Every structure is written in structure tokens, then in C-alpha cells.
Amino acid sequence: MPGDLQAVGLTALLAATTTLLLVPIASPLAWWLARSSSPFRSLIEAVVAMPLVLPPTVLGFYLLIMLNPESVVGGLWVELTGDSLTFSFSGLVIASIIYSLPFMVQPLQAAFRAVPEPVLEAAATLGASPRDRWLNVVLPMAKRGYLTGCVLTFAHTVGEFGVVLMMGGNIPGETRVLSIAIYEHVETLNYEAAHMLALGLLCFSFLSLWLVYRFAGHRFEVVRG
Amino acid sequence: MSNHLIMKGCLRRARFTLDLDIDLDLSMPLGILGMTGAGKTTLLRVIAGLEPEFSGRVEFCGEVWHDGDHFDLVPTHRRGLGVVFQDSRLLPGQTVGSNLAFAMQRAPLVDAKLDYETLTKALNISHLLAESVDILSGGERQRVALARALLTRPRLLLLDEPLSANDADHRQQLIARLSDWLPAEGIPLVYVSHAANELAQLTRQLIVLEQGTVTEQGETHVLFEARNDAINKGTQSVTAMVMSADAEHGTATLQLDHDAVGALAPGDRVLLHREPIEGSGLGAALKPQSGENEG
């Protein structure tokens, strides 16, 4: 049981960290995707949406290749921090950010697209600089998009399994998150413990989605692959 | 160079080119007249810095706002403008008070007699301050947009059909207010309208646009007198405001200018060449021989 509580805490920490980091990463990307007419837009949109259709094991496999200590990125990380990115909490955060990127980007993109250009023009004539317009016109109008993005990203990260298994394994206190703990309980035929965690996750997922539908309507476009 | 507006250059679109070469002293309020699609709104957008594809020079009070390809010499938010768009463009989901506060918070500190209280009372919106702009009528939205534009303490006021959704009484009141306020505050005005009576009351110089080009330029009363002479010589014209339009039954109620009432007789057929839109103005030459009017 203490191991399960530790897994719950670690999962919450991973989901919160991923969500917090994804807000500043996804915001400019979603803004560009919503407003740009660049011919590369559809290409970037496809790349961002890849985690929706890719099997998590494929993503986890490539992340393992890219981030292991023998790779350029992984090697640099070891030099800087002394720790390995694979089979560590830091590696899980990076993997979660990539895996959950579309869950943050797509609701934000939809919210930004709904901000009428004429309103931004009017704000400019009222003396608002581009930054001012973004903070005081776009953000208030996109707050439902942010709520949706944050809830979906958090919930999706809580439910991660394949990528975590590939990248992080099952190290208590470091990479043993809820879904891994459930898998381990089932493997060891400890169905009672598996039930406890699985039912908790079920309720959590339902509440998350209900929150999105209740407060953000249907204004999100995430399609689970 | 005080209040001089210089615009030289062109803006090319697929089916339209705005070709400008004007040098105007905006110490006298300027009116812009022209049919739908003549380029009136586009001209205002060029002044406001909202047409990045404009190739040429825009200068106001000796300050170069736009020159050739260097679009952002002075970006829109630093031009010190007050703009009322045809469609009001209030910040959605916010209250009237928030919309006005948005303008005031970014306005320069100047000693202006037109304070918040005076404006909201005179424009008859003081009872709406706590209301969401999303529930306002078209006329109310235009009055809020006008108050908001004036609260920016503009160096230059650009009004694009700002009264079209208001009823005749409100329009007259607003014209009277603007006629008092703008000279007193020394705010240069560029006023776009289909309504000849509004232009005659509010402006002292006029340019007429046709298909993106200035075809007439001069003092408002001189140009309108020339048009009246044309009427007396047989090429009569009417201006009217569309009060309501019923597409289902193919009927529209027009409020004609005083002169136009005498120019038409009961039973005269009026042929409109564009769909009448409620709140918009119509202006056209009459053909007495056929009794038809091209609107």
C-alpha cells in the first residue's frame, strides 16, 4: 500500500509538471498554428498530432533511442546533470511533454482560432501593443481553451503506460507511476490492489472529462487515436 | 505640417486597386463619399495601418507612418488613433464599462473636457455600463464604439459609417454632439458615410472615391452645391437611409432626404442595384425620363 501511495504521488507530480511545462511550450506553437498561413503549417500540425495515432511503444522506443546516455542529447544531459534521462523522472517528464503535446496544443489552437482578427485590429487602434493584445484580449477569450488543455493534459499524463514502460521502467519513487503499479498488481494476481487503483483512475478520468464538458462545452478538438 | 495627411501609393487586390495621391490639411474635417466598394473603408484601414500590403507613403503631421516596404515605421497602436469601424468591434464577452476602460487605460494623459461622465451621458450609454456588449443593439454598440474611440484621446479620429445603425433622432443628436465636440477638442476627423446629410453637417472638405480613385476633391458645400446644380439641370439624385428591409417580401422602407421627397412622385419606380441593408445609406442619380433610380 505505501508503494501505491508513492505511485499516486509520483503520478500526480509527473502530470502537474508536464501540464505546467506544456502551457508555455504549447501556447506560442498553438498561436502560430491558429494564425499562420505558412505552407509548413499542415506539416507541423501533423507532427504535433503524431502522438494521437502512434502506438505509445513506438514513441517510447524512439525516445529511448534519442535520450539514452549514448545518444547526443542523453550524453549532454549526463554531462550537465550527472544523471541519465532514461529510467529517470526527468526522462519521463520529457516523454510526457511530447506524448501529451496534442492534448494541450489542439484545444488552444481551437481557442485562438476563435479570436476574431477584427477584434484584435480594434484593440490595436485603442493603443494595445501586440503583447498587450495577447495578454488582455486573446488570453481572456482563450481561457476555456486553457482549462480544456490543462485538464486533458493532466488526465492523459496520469493514464500514460506504454511510453512510461519503455522510457522509465518500474523504479519505485522514480518511474513507477499508477498505470505501471496496476500492471504489476495484475501480473502478480493482486486483483484487489489493482481494483483500488483502477477504480480510482476511472473516477478521476470521468471527473476530468465531465469538468471539460461542463465548463468548456465542446470547444476542444482532441481526437484520441 | 500640422494635421497634414499625405497618402501616396496603391494597394492591389484581386479585383480592386486603391490608388491614392492626396495631400490634405485635416484642420478641416474630411468626409469621404463613394458607392459601396469604392474603397472608402480600405482608405481608412490604410491610415490606421491595418493594410500591410499598401505600397507607398502615409504621413500625418510630418510623421512618416508608412513608407514603401517598411510597414511598421509607426505601428497601429502608436499612431494615436480613435477608430469606429462599421461593425463596432467591441471586445466580446466584456461589459460596456470594461470596453471603455480598455481605451482609457491606454490613452495618453491629456486635459480633455470630454471626460467619461460627459461622454457616457451624452451618448446615452450610462445606463448600459454594467451590461455585456454581447446583448446590445446595433445602435447601442455604435455609440459605445464612438465613446471608446473618443476616450483614446485620439490625435486623429477615423469614423466609418459610425451612426448607420442608430435611428434618425439619435443620428441627429450624435451629429450635433460631434459638431460641438471635435472642433472644441481640436480632434481632426475623417468621416466615411453614404449619407450626404451627415457629411454636409460634419465635414468641411470632401473627397469622392470611385473604384479606388479620388474623382472629386474640394470643400463639402461646394461639391454638394455642384451636385445640386446637376439636379436642377435634370440629372437628379437622391440619398436615402434604409430603415428596414424585408428580403422575404422584397420590400424595404427608405427614409429619403428632404430634397429627394420633392424629386419623386407617387407611383415612381425606384430600381435598386444592390441589396438594401438595414441601417445603410443609398445614394444614386435619378433618370427623370424613365423615372428609374439606380441605387
Please give the domain boundaries of chain B with CATH numbers for all domains: 4-219 (3.40.50.300), 234-293 (no CATH)
CB contact under 8 A, A124 and B77: yes
Contacts of A123 in chain B (CB under 8 A): 91, 102
Q: Regarding beta strands B4-13 and B281-287, do their DSSP bridges make them parallel or antiparallel, or are they unpaired?
A: unpaired
B95–A contact, CB cutoff 8 A: no
Cβ-contact B294, B239 below 8 angstroms: no
- Would you say A153 and A19 are in contact if contact means Cβ atoms under 8 Å apart? yes
* Other CB atoms within 10 A of residue B55 CB: 13
Q: What is the pLDDT of residue A222?
A: 47
Give per-residue pLDDT as tens, B234-283: 545 566 777 777 766 667 777 776 656 666 666 566 666 566 666 666 66
Q: What pLDDT is attached to residue B288? A: 46
Mutate to test the interface with B, among A126, A133, A137, A143 (most CBs of B within 10 A): A126
CB contact under 8 A, B152 and A126: yes
Distance CA B162, CA A42 (A): 40
Q: CA–CA separation, B130 vs A129, rounded Å? A: 26
Q: Cβ contacts of residue B165 below 8 Å, gap of 6+?
A: B137, B138, B139, B141, B142, B278, B279
Task: Give yes or no for B103 touching A (CB within 8 A).
Answer: yes
pLDDT at B125 (0 to 100): 93
Mean pLDDT of chain B: 83
Does any CB of chain A come closer than 8 Å to the CB of residue B83? Answer: yes
Q: Is B104 on the interface with A (CB under 8 A)?
A: no
Tell me which residues of chain A have a pLDDT lower than 70: 1-2, 216-225
Output B233 or B221, whichever has higher pLDDT.
B221
d(CA B84, CA B191): 10
Question: Is B92–A119 a contact, with Cβ atoms under 8 angstroms apart?
Answer: yes
Chain A residues touching residue B85 (CB < 8 angstroms)? 118, 121-122
Kindly state the DSSP code that residue B190 receives in the 8-state scheme.
Answer: E
Q: Hey, of B42, B50, B100, B153, which one would you mutate to test binding to chain A, going by the most A CBs within 10 A of its CB?
A: B50
- B110 to chain A, any CB pair closer than 8 A? The answer is no
Please tell me the distance from the alpha carbon of residue B162 to that of residue B142, in angstroms, as a whole number.
6
Q: What is the pLDDT of residues B53-88, one digit of tens each?
A: 899 999 999 999 998 866 678 999 999 999 999 888
pLDDT in tens, B186-195: 899 999 988 8
Which residue do the cell numbers 472629386 mark? B216
Alpha carbons B213 and B10: distance in angstroms, whole number: 10
Q: B91 contacts in A (CB within 8 Å)?
A: 119, 122-123, 137
Helix ranges (H only) for B162-219 are: 168-185, 196-202
Helices (H) and strands (E) in chain B, counts: 8, 14
How far from each other are the two terminal CA atoms of chain B, in whole angstroms? 40
Q: What is the pLDDT of residues B107-160, one digit of tens each?
A: 888 777 778 888 999 999 999 999 999 999 999 999 999 999 999 999 999 999
The 3-state DSSP class for residue A125 equals helix
- Which pLDDT score, from 0 to 100, does residue A16 have? 93
Instruction: Please tell me which residue of chain B has the smallest CA distance to A118.
Output: B89
Per DSSP (E only), the strands in chain B are: 4-13, 16-25, 30-34, 55-60, 63-68, 81-84, 156-160, 189-192, 205-210, 213-219, 237-246, 251-256, 281-287, 292-293
Task: Give the separation between CA A89 and CA A5, rounded to whole angstroms.
Answer: 17
Of A122, A128, A141, the CB nearest to B93: A141
| Interface residue B250 vs chain A (CB under 8 A) | no
Q: What domains appear along chain A, each with residue ranges and CATH number? A: 2-216 (1.10.3720.10)
> Which of B81, B91, B144, B153 is the best substitution to test chain A (most A C-beta atoms within 10 A)?
B91
User: Cα(first)–Cα(last) distance of chain A, in Å?
Assistant: 33
Beta strand B16-25 pairing with B4-13: antiparallel
The three three-digit cell numbers of residue A102, written as one number: 496534442
Residue A137 backbone zone (phi > 0: left; psi -120 to 50: alpha; other: beta):
alpha
In this structure, are residues B112 and B152 in contact, taking their beta carbons and an 8 Å threshold? no
- Chain A hits for B82, CB-CB cut-off 8 Å, are 125
The residue among A3, A29, A23, A7 whose CA lies nearest residue A154 is A23
Residue of A nearest to B153 (CA): A126
Phi, psi of A187 (to 5 degrees): -60, -35
Taking the Cβ of residue B194 and every Cβ of chain A, the question of whether any pair is shorter than 8 Å is answered with: no
The torsion angles phi and psi of A200, rounded to 5 degrees, stand at -60, -45
Q: What is the pLDDT of residue A110?
A: 95
DSSP state of B34: E
Beta carbons within 10 angstroms of residue A149's beta carbon? 32
Identity of the residue in B50, B78, B93 whose CB atom sits nearest the CB atom of A121: B50
Set of chain B residues whose Cβ sits within 8 Å of the Cβ of A124? 49-50, 75-77
Chain B's closest residue to A125, CA to CA, is: B77
Tell me the shortest Cα–Cα distance from B152 to chain A, in angstroms: 6
